[in-house]
A and B are shown apart, each in its own frame.
Chain A
Amino acid sequence: MLTVSALAPEDLRRRLAGPGIALHTGAYQTLVRSDIAQVADGLGLLYADYPLGEADGFSDFQVNLMHSRGLRRWWGRQVRFDHDGHAPFKPLPVEQAFPMFEWSMNWCVSSRAHDCLIIHAAVVERDGLAAILPAPPGSGKSTLCAALVSRGWRLLSDELTMVRLGDARIVPLPRPISLKNASIGVIRDYAPDMVFSRPVHDTNKGTVAHVKAPAASVARALETARPAWIVFPKYVAGAAPSLEAIPQARAFMHVAENAFNYSLLAHDGFDALGRLIGATRSFHFRYGALDDAMDVFANLERPPA
């Protein structure tokens, strides 16, 4: 199957500004259209390994990121996102077009993909077992996720953990890892071989940059994973690593609080989360150094087969 990398930069820009490209990200296909150079450049750099479908075929989502019209085409240029003709967000400065693309892709899935229980969490996998990292903003989730991926864990998702309703298996959605502010420099130092987008400043999250998902993770994007651990991370500078078990009923409540569509799914969400919790062990995890975190994750106790 053709990938984004097969398109020369000018061809990619032309297609995005015209019929669009049908981008495969795991189980979903998104028709992306944009007349903005930053979007084309970001896609060319960070989505090079992703398969392309037929632009005139069926897509699960339609994402348009276009210059705002009127005076904004020439002064204080902005990017406007619309999904299937609806614009759920206010326009942003055009310099934030690529982060807006990433946020819009997250929004499409978290607001529409209700065939899964969707947890606001990173999820990585090694040796067939997945570790889910739910965390509110600022807890170091994405930094930890990026570090684990740099050390060989498969990236299933940086932001949205998709728990399949029938069997609680994790459905991958590997996309670029979003880093903010100081974490950008931390991961640049920790994993100098990772590919970064150009940092974008003055967003509502501060400075953001995105890290390219490993090609191996993208290649296995249709391979579901068995969940084994739920780890609530908390970075505390200078802290010794500590892993504290959480009783399963309490872990259930914590995860429910971090799930976008738990209430919407009603009984199905309750069942899916119960299955997930029953299949996993949960922990609070404090750490102050990434190498310590790598050691702890490498030694997580494997569940019975």
Chain B
Amino acid sequence: MWRLKSGQSLQRHEFPDGEESVLYNALSGDTHLLGAAAIELLLCLQCGPADDAMLRDVLAAAMDGERDPDFDTQVAALLDQLSSFYLIESFSC
């Protein structure tokens, strides 16, 4: 299971000229340049914890249902990256 790290407010700036956003990390003070997929995952987790399958479904729906052969691997890598930024964390229920 995944959840948003406690204390993260997902303060961000989105701009009309592209899909990338900048997000302020309330825990580290870092600023992250994130793509649309990362933002989608974070917004999903802001609503509550979710498992890998649920997150994959959310992302696929946001991308018009397309899942190429590497989709699952890419989502897993993205979750690991967001975890390394201390934006999200995994836990066992």
A61 to B33, CA, bound (A): 37
Residue B65, interface by CB 8 Å:
no
Q: Quick check: B33 and A277 within 8 Å, CB to CB? A: no
Residue B89, interface by CB 8 Å:
no
Kindly list 16 other residue pairs between chains A and B, CB separation below 8 angstroms, not including A253-B22, A270-B24, A274-B13. Answer: A247-B15, A247-B20, A248-B16, A248-B18, A249-B15, A249-B21, A249-B33, A250-B20, A252-B13, A252-B33, A253-B33, A263-B29, A267-B11, A267-B24, A270-B11, A277-B13
Q: Quick check: B29 and A249 within 8 Å, CB to CB? A: no
A-B contact pairs, 11 of them (CB 8 A): A247-B17, A247-B20, A249-B13, A250-B33, A252-B31, A252-B33, A253-B22, A262-B31, A263-B29, A267-B11, A278-B15
A28 to B22, CA, bound (A): 33
The prevalent SS among residues of A at the interface is helix
Given B16, B20, B31, B33, which contacts A270 in the complex, CB threshold below 8 Å?
Answer: B31
Q: Give B43 Cβ to nearest chain A Cβ, in Å.
A: 16
A252 in contact with B22 given A263-B29, A266-B29, A270-B31 (CB within 8 Å)? yes
Q: Give A165 Cβ to nearest chain B Cβ, in Å.
A: 15
Q: Which residues of A contact B16 (CB under 8 A)?
A: 248
Q: Give A277 Cβ to nearest chain B Cβ, in Å.
A: 7
Q: Which residues of B contact A266 (CB under 8 A)?
A: 29
Residue A256, interface by CB 8 Å:
yes
Q: Which residues of A contact B11 (CB under 8 A)?
A: 267, 270
A274 in contact with B22 given A252-B13, A266-B29 (CB within 8 Å)? yes
Q: Give A213 Cβ to nearest chain B Cβ, in Å.
A: 33
> Chain B interface (Cβ within 8 Å of chain A)?
11, 13, 15-18, 20-22, 24, 29, 31, 33
Q: Which residue of A lies closest to B24 (CB)?
A: A270
A267 to B12, CA, bound (A): 10
> Chain A interface (Cβ within 8 Å of chain B)?
247-250, 252-253, 256, 262-263, 266-267, 270, 274, 277-278
Q: Which residue of B lies closest to A252 (CB)?
A: B22
A270 to B11, CA, bound (A): 9
Q: Which residue of B lies closest to A282 (CB)?
A: B17
Q: Which residues of B contact A278 (CB under 8 A)?
A: 13, 15
Q: Which residues of A contact B20 (CB under 8 A)?
A: 247, 249-250
Q: Which residues of B contact A247 (CB under 8 A)?
A: 15, 17-18, 20
A262 to B29, CA, bound (A): 10
Q: Which residue of A lies closest to B32 (CB)?
A: A253
A250 to B24, CA, bound (A): 14
A256 to B22, CA, bound (A): 11
Q: Quick check: A256 and B24 within 8 Å, CB to CB? A: no
A256 to B33, CA, bound (A): 11
A247 to B16, CA, bound (A): 9
Q: Quick check: A249 and B24 within 8 Å, CB to CB? A: no
Q: Which residues of B contact A248 (CB under 8 A)?
A: 15-18
A274 to B18, CA, bound (A): 15
A266 to B28, CA, bound (A): 10
A296 to B69, CA, bound (A): 47
A252 to B20, CA, bound (A): 11
Q: Quick check: B31 and A253 within 8 Å, CB to CB? A: yes
Q: Give B12 Cβ to nearest chain A Cβ, in Å.
A: 9
Q: Which residue of A lies closest to B31 (CB)?
A: A256
With a 10 A CB-CB cut-off, give which of A247, A249, A266, A277 has the most chain B CB atoms: A249
